[in-house]
Structure 1
Amino acid sequence: MISICYDWAMRTLDADAVEAFILVADLGSFTRAAAVLNTTQAAVSLRIRRLEDHLGRRLLERTPRQVRLSHAGARFLEPARDLIAAGRRAAEAVQDESLSLALGVTHHLVGPGLPRLLRQIAVRDSGVTLHLRTGGTRALLDRFDAGELDAVVVLRHDESRRGGETLLTEPFGWYCAGDIDLPPGAPVPLAAQPEPCALRAMAVRALEAAGLGWREAFVGNGAAAAGAAASAGLAIAPLARRAAPVDTVDVGPRLGLPALPGREAVLHSQVSGARAAAVLRRITGAFRAM
């Protein structure tokens, strides 16, 4: 029988170490947890090792392929969440004013991982009102320039504006239901957005450079619409990996389609104030970990 004196331990635990443990447990990865915390994998490992030493119990079982909760870690997880939540409520109680943050994210980067991103934000910043807007890069930048958005995460194309902070390079592929097949010489059935669309243009250039024909099989507004057509097997959609529906696969290698170049995801921000800047750093860290 495992026994941990939680009443004593909770009064003396390092909250940063407890938070690191929760993130590793939720994300299943030291690397992803480090991205959310804007620190290094080694720093996260050290925090958790000290936490385990303090409790006298191993909380995580580490193997080269996976990280999972130990028996003691599984018992400790919910009390750990309660501890972090209590600290957050205490901090919020003395805040002079609430914080509102308007963030725009290109729809090309919004996909099945969004709930996990929002959960990581909620764990740390429940007192913040997040106004999330999605749309095309040009429209988001226009709203940012007009002062309607505090920050935007957009894709950088050849004709995009310079500057900003590069968060990551997002890979792209040709996504569709896995059982799709193309007869030899048949044009590629494309699911895309209406012109002008930088991703559509990128895909068409790649096909034409490879000497492959194509046809519009589906035209819809937004990556979600193109992804739905791909899920239904109606057409092949050029999509960012994180925006691809979970029931689709990258059929490009199997069908001999040309590789699509990656694109940088760039943060443009006009956030002011230490608290708002800290919240934005946590959001972008969680975004990197998606």
Structure 2
Amino acid sequence: MTIGISDHVAGPELPSLIARMNVQDPNPLIDLRIGSSGDLLTSYDRRELDAVLVRFHAGRSDGELISEERLGWFAAPNWQHRTGEPLPLATLAEPCGVRIMATQLTDEAGVPWTESFVGGGVMAVAGALTAGLGVSALARRMLPFGAINVGAKLELPKLPSLPILLHSRVQQSGARDVLRTLSAAMRSAVGAS
């Protein structure tokens, strides 16, 4: 079975998610791919992936709702915005939907911003936050240790909760059981954050 998981969804729980899938089926052959929700959905539509666990993607109304996760504006605890300068944003590279949503909301709120860091994964963005390179729109469970919510302090626009969806065409009962286990583990991880 080939499964895609969005980088914004996988998070630090990925090792425990894989372990839970292994408990469900101790002899699985799982091809796991991490990427952006948009890229993974494109691969899924091309039948290159059997299932994907992704954030809501505009223009799609399919998929099973697994959970919803609130996003916030976060920075390192000692980070300070320099008065009069654009807000430095640490983001994932395009076509990241969270990046697009966050920059659109800052534009609509009239908040001048600039990209201070563009990372190839959430862990890279978390590293940029820790290094004090700027502010990022992330879910709380994705944060590096010590990161703080700076949205209210900086009067940034409120970020929505975003759904996590499972898209699957898996028919075999064993593989469906693995996906049920993965979905339950994700619900638990998001609920605990």
Q: Corresponding residue for 2:27?
A: 127
Report if aligned partners of 1:181, 1:255 keep a CA contact under 8 Å in 2: no
- Counterpart CA distance in 1 for 2:63 and 2:119 is 29
Q: Which has the higher contact order (CA 8 A, sep 6+)?
A: 2
Match of 2:69 among 167, 170, 181: 170
Match of 1:268 among 167, 171, 183: 167
The answer on 1:106 being equivalent to 2:6 is: yes
Deviation (angstroms), 1:247: 3.8
Report if aligned partners of 1:112, 1:245 keep a CA contact under 8 Å in 2: no
Structure with bigger gyration radius: 1
Structure 2 counterpart SS, 1:200: helix
Q: Corresponding residue for 1:71?
A: none
- Counterpart CA distance in 2 for 1:145 and 1:251 is 38
- Counterpart CA distance in 2 for 1:153 and 1:237 is 22
- Counterpart CA distance in 2 for 1:204 and 1:287 is 27
**1:150-169 to 2 correspondences below 5 Å:** 150-157=50-57, 159-169=58-68
Q: Corresponding residue for 1:229?
A: 128
Deviation (angstroms), 1:166: 0.7
- The CA RMSD measured in Å over matched residues stands at 1.8
Please give the TM-score of this superposition, normalised by the length of structure 1: 0.60
Q: Corresponding residue for 1:142?
A: 42
Q: Deviations over 1:210-269 (max 9, x none)?
A: 221111111222222222111211111112333222342322233322211111111110
Report if aligned partners of 2:4, 2:53 keep a CA contact under 8 Å in 1: yes
For structure 2, the 5+ residue unaligned runs are none
| Structure with higher strand content | 2
Q: Corresponding residue for 1:217?
A: 116
- Counterpart CA distance in 1 for 2:19 and 2:148 is 26
| Structure with higher helix content | 1
For structure 1, the 5+ residue unaligned runs are 1-100
Q: Percent identity?
A: 40
Report if aligned partners of 1:104, 1:133 keep a CA contact under 8 Å in 2: yes
Please give the TM-score of this superposition, normalised by the length of structure 2: 0.88
Q: Corresponding residue for 2:154?
A: 255
Match of 2:78 among 179, 185, 189: 179
AA in 2 matched with 1:264: P
Report if aligned partners of 1:144, 1:151 keep a CA contact under 8 Å in 2: yes
The answer on 1:241 being equivalent to 2:140 is: yes
Report if aligned partners of 1:103, 1:133 keep a CA contact under 8 Å in 2: yes
Deviation (angstroms), 1:118: 2.4
